[in-house]
Amino acid sequence: MTIVEAILLTIVTASTPLLIAALGELVTERSGVLNLGVEGMMAMGAACSFAAAVTFDSTLIGVAAGMLAGTLMAALFALLVLGFAANQTGSGLALTILGLGLSGLIGAPFVGARRDPIAPLDIPILSDIPVVGRLFFEQDLFVYASIVLTVLVGLYLMRTRSGLTLRSIGENHTSANALGLPVWRVRFWAILFGGACAGLAGAYLALVYTRFWSPGMTAGRGWIALALVVFAAWRPGWVLVGAYIFGAATVLQLHAQAAQFGVPSQLLSAVPYLATILALLLLSIRHGRAIGAPGSLGVPFVPDR
Amino acid sequence: MRFELTPRTHVSPVMRALAPVAAFITAFLIAGFVIWLMGRSPVAAFDVYVLQPLSDPWALQELLVKATPLALIAIGLSYCFRANLWNIGAEGQYVIGAVLGGWLALKTHGTEAGAWVLPLMLLLGVIGGALYGLIPAFLKTRFGVNEILTSLMLVYVAQLILDYLVRGPWRDPKGFNFPQSVTFDPSATLHPILEGGRVHYGAVFAAIAVLVTAVVLGRTLFGYRLKLTGDAPRAARFAGFSSKATTMAVFAISGGLAGLAGISEVSGQIGQLQPSISPGYGFTAITVAFLGRLNPVGILLAALVVALTFIGGESAQILLKLPLDLTQAFQGILLMCVLAADAMVSYRIRFATRGGGK
């Protein structure tokens, strides 16, 4: 394997958690709910999946535990913003603070443990194509799943009746409610879906990307996923593009650090965060304002208002 | 069965005042349950977290020391939150304030510089924090970039800047390669209020910030303008209040106060620059601001109460071997309870059964 191939492979690995988490958040936001707790749900997904995978020595159980943890965190958020019509921005922040704290409690006994790499799923014949073969057809299962998920989310939102319902609730919950659409129920499931995806992204981070657990290992990826949704103007296809651009930025700065160009490593570490700001800025300059944002995004829903 | 929410037409002031108290008690019960789940005694934890710090004079001083940055930052944030703007990057503004103020302390280190050093350091801290806070404000007003994401991203950048400086150009050459600067000179140190005590003059700044804010919010046009911008943006526009000017102003204020908190902590408490200068004050201050209902006096009380969890968390780590992350988890639960309590004050929540079984 050449160095270029190796770098391209790691870019895919770095992009996948961003893609999965951002897709989940995209569905939540399309239903009109802003969940700023992605970072916290992801951290819980990472800690719970790693703890379960080590305890039961099973990656499958680990992934299930990670998704369950993300879903439960999301359910807590749903209780606050749907049940109590609480402020969504504040509730999301609270979820992140709680998730980072709790994940520290859960992960602490597992510091130092390691998991074996997951065998890549080799698609015969296709993976023998030079350069692109290994890149596209010899990845782990999650990478394929994330691509399939992108397509499914796109099809669901744009081609199904249920997706249309979800989008109209996100655009204008008052009108949707007047039409008899179940605002509360649709949003509940959309929030849970977002949580499951964030949990899965966290599980991928701990079980595939690093294969160990350390405190604060999500390192702002949940926030980058949130930015990706804005960057993609709430369209799944563009989330895929954005996730891979960010994955590339992350991996290339790591390689630049290893190559020791004489640039401070901290400057390179700051690249993903600065790139996020730059991406949001360029997008806003081109369009004047954030385009494609659902009309009711972030507004609490109270039927009588 | 399902929830039903109806806005309350009349909200009694007693309920509004009691809501944070109820939230706090609920958060404690939940945290106690979590500790019980971890196989520890919630009663012992309550004793270590709350009762012991309150009965120990040394811990009471420590309480004021920890409450100082929390109150300063949260007071600043209350300006933003009142105008419905979300500055969640106070942690970064705190760090940059400490860096810019600390720069002067390091520049004048070992020289005969006089009494002007400390005031100028504090001023630089305010300016540093304010300028750093103005970045997301400028991006929002000029280009319409979401301030939540940019202010948060800048926290990571600020921490990396500090990390670079104390490991690189600002490292103490005689410090055995530890990533830290030289210890500040006495002329660059914020002194304790009482000789031999722990509480430094930062606490006075916090008290002044509370008083000034109480006057500004309650008695001035600017305070009214903030409230209007947050509650009724359209009305504020018709009244001729520029929302852009308001955005820049509140970010400058909150950034400046966070910067002041940063430089006060570094020059009054830590005494040098090092990679980590905050246990997350900038984020915890968000909880403090909401627990205090965005009211200056409320924030002061909330800062003292939340500071208790920091001290309790430290002693619980030593005495009960409970990890420090528990404190952070508790702060998350507390913020959730506060927001839920706020909502319960504004809405009447009914459990209704509808149409048989659905």
pLDDT at B356: 37
pLDDT at B214: 92
For every residue of B139-204, DSSP letters joined together read HHHHH---HHHHHHHHHHHHHHHHHHHHHTTTS-TTSTT-S--PPPPGGGSPPBSSTT-S-BTHHH
Mean pLDDT of B81-103: 94
ipTM computed for the complex: 0.88
Residue B45 located in a structural domain: no
Which chain B positions have a beta carbon within 8 Å of A302's beta carbon?
A: 5-7, 347
Residue A2, phi-psi category: left (phi > 0), alpha (psi -120 to 50), beta (remainder): beta
Which chain A positions have a beta carbon within 8 Å of B157's beta carbon?
A: 270, 273-274
Mean pLDDT of A222-235: 90
pLDDT at B75: 96
What's the pLDDT band for B59 if we cut at 50, 70, 90?
A: confident
Interchain CB distance below 8 Å, B6 and A304: yes
Which chain A positions have a beta carbon within 8 Å of B340's beta carbon?
A: 80, 84, 86
CA distance B154 to chain A (A): 7
pLDDT at A138: 66
Mean pLDDT of B331-354: 80
pLDDT above 50: residue A236: yes
Percent of chain A with pLDDT over 70: 90
pLDDT above 50: residue B357: no
Tokens encoding A39 = 């970072």
Q: Which residues pair with B3 in a beta bridge?
A: B351
DSSP code at position B2 = E
Interchain CB distance below 8 Å, B339 and A95: no
Interchain CB distance below 8 Å, B149 and A280: yes
pLDDT at B1: 44
Q: How many domains does chain B have?
A: 2
Residues B19 and B130 both lie in one domain: no
Cα–Cα distance for residue pair A107/A91, rounded to 1 Å: 24
pLDDT at B124: 96
Residues B263 and B209 both lie in one domain: yes
Interchain CB distance below 8 Å, A230 and B146: yes
Interface of B with A in 163-222 (CB under 8 A): 163-164, 167-168
Of all residues in chain A, the one with the smallest CA distance to B321 is A105
Which chain A positions have a beta carbon within 8 Å of B161's beta carbon?
A: 266, 270
- CA-CA distances (angstroms) from residue B244 to A71, A246, B328? 38, 31, 34
Interchain CB distance below 8 Å, A274 and B343: no
Residues B93 and B216 both lie in one domain: yes
Interchain CB distance below 8 Å, A264 and B164: yes
pLDDT above 90: residue B206: yes
What's the pLDDT band for A126 if we cut at 50, 70, 90?
A: low
Q: Which of B152, B157, B324 sits opposite A223 (nearest CB)?
A: B152
Mean pLDDT of A172-196: 92
pLDDT at B74: 96
Residues B66 and B175 both lie in one domain: yes
Which chain B positions have a beta carbon within 8 Å of A276's beta carbon?
A: 149, 153
Q: Is B232 or B206 the better-scoring residue by pLDDT?
A: B206
pTM of the model: 0.89
pLDDT tens string A5-15: 778 888 888 99
Q: Which of B139, B156, B336 sits opposite A270 (nearest CB)?
A: B156
Listed in sequence order, the residues at least 6 apart from B358 whose beta carbon sits closer than 8 Å to its beta carbon are: none
Are the C-beta atoms of residues A301 and A184 closer than 8 Å to each other? yes
Of all residues in chain A, the one with the smallest CA distance to B334 is A94
Which chain B positions have a beta carbon within 8 Å of A97's beta carbon?
A: 283, 287, 328-329, 331-332, 335
pLDDT above 60: residue B228: yes
Residues B26 and B170 both lie in one domain: no
pLDDT at A135: 65
- Is B326 near chain A, with CB under 8 Å? yes
pLDDT at B37: 85
- CA-CA distances (angstroms) from residue A169 to B7, B53, B75? 21, 50, 37
Interchain CB distance below 8 Å, A94 and B339: yes
Size of interface A-B (CB pairs under 8 A): 159
pLDDT at B94: 97
- Is B344 near chain A, with CB under 8 Å? yes
Task: Please report where in the chains the tokens 């419905």 appear, as a residue.
Answer: B84
Which chain B positions have a beta carbon within 8 Å of A264's beta carbon?
A: 164, 168
pLDDT tens string B130-142: 999 999 999 999 9
Residues B20 and B93 both lie in one domain: no
pLDDT tens string A251-300: 888 888 887 777 888 888 898 899 889 988 988 877 655 567 788 888 88
Interchain CB distance below 8 Å, B7 and A97: no
Residues spanned by the domain of B342: 1-40+334-358
Residues B341 and B207 both lie in one domain: no
- Break chain A into its structural domains and give their ranges: 3-287
Residue B314 located in a structural domain: yes
* CB contact burial A162-188 (16+ within 10 A = b; e otherwise): ebebbbbbbbbbeebeeeebebbebbb
Of all residues in chain B, the one with the smallest CA distance to A103 is B325
Q: Which residues pair with B351 in a beta bridge?
A: B3
Tokens encoding A275 = 């790139």
Please, what is the average pLDDT of chain A? 87
What's the pLDDT band for B301 if we cut at 50, 70, 90?
A: very high
- CA-CA distances (angstroms) from residue A10 to A134, A140, B201, B246? 12, 12, 51, 45
pLDDT at A305: 44
Please, what is the average pLDDT of chain B? 87
Residues B33 and B114 both lie in one domain: no
pLDDT at B121: 94
Residue B329 located in a structural domain: no
Residues B160 and B25 both lie in one domain: no
Q: Determine whether domain A3-287 maps to CATH 1.10.3470.
A: yes
pLDDT above 80: residue A122: no
- Of the residues B291, B330, B336, B344, the best mutation for testing chain A's interface (the one with the most A CB atoms within 10 Å of its CB) is B336
Interchain CB distance below 8 Å, B325 and A230: no
What's the pLDDT band for B358 if we cut at 50, 70, 90?
A: very low
3-state secondary structure of A136: helix
CA distance A113 to chain B (A): 19
Residues B214 and B298 both lie in one domain: yes
pLDDT at B197: 77
Q: Is A128 or B136 the better-scoring residue by pLDDT?
A: B136
Of all residues in chain B, the one with the smallest CA distance to A280 is B145
Are the C-beta atoms of residues B221 and B236 closer than 8 Å to each other? no
pLDDT at B201: 87
pLDDT at B87: 93
Residues B103 and B168 both lie in one domain: yes
Mean pLDDT of A126-153: 78
Residue B327 located in a structural domain: no
Residues B127 and B83 both lie in one domain: yes
Cα–Cα distance for residue pair A201/A74, rounded to 1 Å: 14
Are the C-beta atoms of residues A38 and A25 closer than 8 Å to each other? yes
pLDDT tens string A13-22: 899 999 999 9
Residue B259 located in a structural domain: yes
Residue B47 located in a structural domain: no
Interface of B with A in 43-102 (CB under 8 A): 86, 88
> Which burial class, exposed, middle or buried, applies to B13 when counting CB atoms under 10 A from its CB (0-12, 13-18, 19+)?
exposed
End-to-end CA distance of chain B: 7
Query: What CATH number is attached to the domain comprising B314?
Result: 1.10.3470
pLDDT at B352: 59
Q: Which of A87, A93, A220 sits opposite B156 (nearest CB)?
A: A220
pLDDT tens string B241-299: 888 888 999 999 999 999 999 999 999 988 899 998 998 899 999 989 988 888 999 99
What's the pLDDT band for B355 if we cut at 50, 70, 90?
A: very low
Interchain CB distance below 8 Å, B326 and A95: no
Of all residues in chain B, the one with the smallest CA distance to A82 is B3
Task: Tell me the pairing of strands B2-7 and A138-139.
Answer: unpaired
pLDDT at B4: 67
Cα–Cα distance for residue pair A285/A24, rounded to 1 Å: 27
